[in-house]
Structure formats: C-alpha cells, structure tokens
Structure 1
Amino acid sequence: MSVAVEPGVRPQWTRLGNPVAAVYGALVLLLVLGSVLVAMRGGVLLDQGGILNILTRSTALGLVAIGQTMVILTGKLDLSVAYLIGLCSLIGAETMAGDPGMILPAVLLTLACAAGVGLLNGLVVAKLKVNAFIATLGTALIIRGYLENGYTGPSGQVPRVFQHLGYDRIGPVPVSALLMLALAGLAWWFLARTRPGYHLYAVGGDEEVARFSGIRTDRVVITAHVLCSVAAGLAGLFLASRLGSGAPWVGTDAGYDLESIAAVVLGGTLLAGGRGGVAGTIGGVLILATLDTTFDELGVTPFFKDVVRGVVLIVAVALYARRRMRR
C-alpha cells in the first residue's frame, strides 16, 4: 500500500524551527564577538575585505555541504567528496586546457564523472547494503590511489574567462557565493516542495516504514549520493577557477569531507537522518568561515583553531540533543 504525498505540502520538519534560528543567532553573536576581538587588535572584521574573505571561504564548503545535506538526511554520509573535488578540478582543467571553447564540454564532463562516482556510491550502499561510511571511504581510497599514481602536482589550465567565476564580485559579494546561495535555494525548494525531497526525509526518518509506505528507498538513497557528488564536482570546478588549474589535493588539504559533515551537523541536521535542511547548513558553513576569518585576523595558531572548532561543534550537537530530549 502506498501513501500519497502532496508535493506542495512541506513536511513539518523542513520548516524554519529552533535549530535554524539557533544557528543564525549563534552566527550573529559570533560576528559581534569576532568584530570586538579584532577591533581590540586594531583591525576590522566586517570591512569589505573581511566580508569577501568570509564569503569566499564559504563558497566551496557551502557547495559540498549542500550535497552532503542530501545524503545525511537519508541517514547516510559521504567521505569521498574531498578526493572527488580534487579529481573534478583536474578533469575540468585538463579538458579545458586553456581553451575557452572547451569550457562547456569540460563542465559537462566533470559533472558527468562526479555523477558517476555518486551513482557507484549509491549502488554499493543501496543494492549491496554496504554501510555508507565504508562504501564511500572505499571510493575515496580508490580515487586517492589514482591521484597519487597519476599526479605529483597541479595539472591542466583554466581559461582566463572561466577564472571570472572565482574572482568576480558584485560589491563585496563574490559572484560564486551568489551562485552557491542560488544552489542552496534550489536545494531548499527540492527538499521542501517536491515529492522526491519528501522521500529523502521519509527514508532518513525510518527506512523500513518508508519502504512499506511504497517509497522506492533504494532509488532515494542513490539519488542522494548522486546529488552529493555533483555538488562536490561543482566545488572542484570553482576551486579550479580560483587556482587556474586542477590540483589533486585541493579537496583533502581543506578537509572538505569532515568539514562538510561538521557544517551540516552544526546547522541542526541529524546524523541519523530525517530532520534538518539546507537553511541550517548554510548557517553552519558561515559560522565555520567566520571562525576561520576571525582566527586569521587574530593570528591564532592552527592547533587552537581546531580546538575551538571542535568545542563549538560538540556544544552545538549537545544543545540540539538536549532540546530533543525535552521535547
């Protein structure tokens, strides 16, 4: 027996609720505190340069985190995104080879390869019933082996016109950040206003109940992994536009696998799935970017940066858990 779901009706847990309000409230407090601390050292956090820095840091992580949100909502996760970003940056840059006429073919080929990796992840998880942690870690190791064997450094060349994606801005706002926010809006609409988006929540809430309700859970899980990998492919193209070439370790050096998971969880999405959304994820991304920018302005050591970020993540998750227990 199947359960009819109206695409236009948003599931209750997709509405802006306490976790989303909390994460943006924390972002405002962090901006105020960071501005005070930087001002005490004679600097300005939220001048044009500081805003540009925060938004630029947010773009690549935001793209990956949007895709990671899709997977985590189903109760899974994807650890292959960091290596996939490096691979996609190389595919894009090597295909373009400095030729503006090859930009569109390169973008399409890059996203197709990313989707293929996501399809592989989804099939292994959904059809072979391999735990998503192990399946995507295995994919990450395969990609790492290819990168280590085939590359020792940057490769390919991005045409100058494509670099406008990474560097152009409207006032203090990078064009790439606007595109990232547009993708976030599209993802919000998909989750909140469409039947496939509802199915992601249903599978994450209880996969067995979703199956008995007539939802093709395997297809939902595969779709989530494909969307996640395509988002990582977009991040790879963006970073290639910033660097001017592909770089095999551009994703792993920034730790986008764990960083994206941290941003999603910080934004109030449950790792167990079924509750959360993209609105909170973007807030989590902005918090992490603001922390990094503030620490750079203050000259904080990398060790202390990681300690503070870890404490912030643990405190946030503990507060979310306590709120759920009260409910």
Structure 2
Amino acid sequence: MERGNHTVTEFILVGFTTDPVMQLVLFVVFLVMYSVTLVGNTMLITLICNDFRLHTSMYFFIGNLSFLDLWYSSVYIPKILVTCISEDESISFAGCVAQFFFSAGLAYSECYLLAAMAYDRYVAISNPLLYVQIMSKRLCLYLLIYTYTGGFVNSIILTSNTFTLDFCGDNVIDDFFCDVPPLVKLACDVKGSYQAVLYFLLASNVITPIVLILASYLFIIAAILRICSTQGFHKAFSTCSSHLISVTLYFGTFLYIYSRPSSSYSLERDKMVSVFYTVVFPMLNPMIYSLRNKDVKEALKKLLKLTQPEV
C-alpha cells in the first residue's frame, strides 16, 4: 500500500525494552497476568451461566463485560509475549489494521456496556419492585446489540480514517501495539479533518457514555438519600461500588490517553498508562465483581462442591 513516497508493508513494534533479561522478566509477568485474566473471566462467565440465581440483568451485563475483557486482552498480550521472547518485533500492515480495528471496537463496546450497567443499577435502586419487568430480557438484548454495533461501527470509522493517513516517515511504532498516538507520530501530515474525526469519536464513544453514567448516578444518589434505613442505604451503595470502581479505572486511563491534543503525546509515559487499560484492567474486573459480591462467592462455593470427588 502506497503511503507518500514509501510502500508500507509492515511496522516495527518497539515494545518496552531491548534488554534480554528484562524481556524475559516481562514475558513471565505478562504470561502470569494473561493466565489470571483468562481463568478469572472464564470462571465468572461459567458461574453466571450455570447458577440460576445469577440469571438477572446485572449478571447478564457482568458476564458480557468478562467476555469483552477476554477478547480485549487477547488482542494485545499474545503479540507482547511473542515480541518478548523473539527478535521478530514486526507486525504486518494487515495485522496492524486488524489489531487496531478489534482493539478500538472492543474498547468502544466496553464504554457503552458500562453505561448500560449504570442504567441497570439505577433501575435496581430506584424501582426495585419493577426491576425485573423494566430490565426485561428483550431490553437487555437490545442494549447489548447497541453496545456491540455502536462499538464496531465507530471502530470502522476510526480504522478507515487512520490507515488512509500518509505514513511518510519510518515504520517504527514506539509502543507495544498499533494505537492512535504512535501512528499519528508516523504520519507526515495530520489534517484537521482527521482531528475532527478523533474528537467526534471521543465525544460519541467516551464522553456520551460518561454523561449517561453520571446522570444515572445522580438519580441513584437521589434515590439513596430517600432511603431511611441504614441497612438499606449500605445495601444500595454496595450494589454500585463495583461498577463505580470499574468506571473510574477504565474511563480515567482512557481519557488520559485520548482526550489530549496530539502535540502533547508522550509515548513513553502513555505506553505505561496503556498497559493499565489493555492488560491490568481486564485482569482486575473479575476480582472487582466477584470478591465484593456475595452471590458470586456463593455460586463459586456451590461449583467447587460439585467438582469435588466424593470420598
């Protein structure tokens, strides 16, 4: 594919370090984190599918969050592991496009899903008696379809606009995956129209879900303040605490990376922050939603009892 006066057929991913010892250390660290991510999210999905007590809209969304995290981490970590243990740091142009497309689609879908989960928590607290009727299977399915459709349609827009830029410099990506900031650094001319697309996607996929989440929590706070009993107050707050932690961690790092103008990008600093939402966050989510959740812990105990051999 022609880019300026050059033909770009592959990119070189710099990764984290060229020191062989540190590469081996990073390989072990990322392998352990990836294993924990796979086991944790798969276990949570299994518990939600197998235990009828978890067949509610809240756990339906949590299960889909784990599904997204499984694939989200798989977009990045296998390539990181290969780069750490081999001298081949290249990624083909098509491979870069594919990684970019799926990472953006899954990330945007997760933004919408966290917004849907906020609405679910609002209904659970403000209308507990009508919760099952309002959050019907049909509504949950529609919200999920919108989540994935919105995420991947916007990913198509971002990917098509990014990979029609003129990459007239070298092909070295100073990062561990194909992302907007390092690719913009390789472009010889970033037009205002591309910046407009980035701001549009930021507004529609990040800012809009954040506004919806904030609105939901304003109504949640108003509903909690109307609860007279201390026990009811703590119960209402506990149902939202896990989601609040996820939202804060995810959107905090996301906004830090993508809400700044390209002139202020610091690839070394951003690389470290990117590790958090691409690798660490998918690993932490199952812990956030299981260790703080009585129903999930009970389902896990039940599953462990069924799998233990009889003496």
TM-score, normalisation: structure 1 = 0.34
The one of the two structures with greater contact order (alpha-carbon pairs below 8 A, sep at least 6) is 1
TM-score, normalisation: structure 2 = 0.35
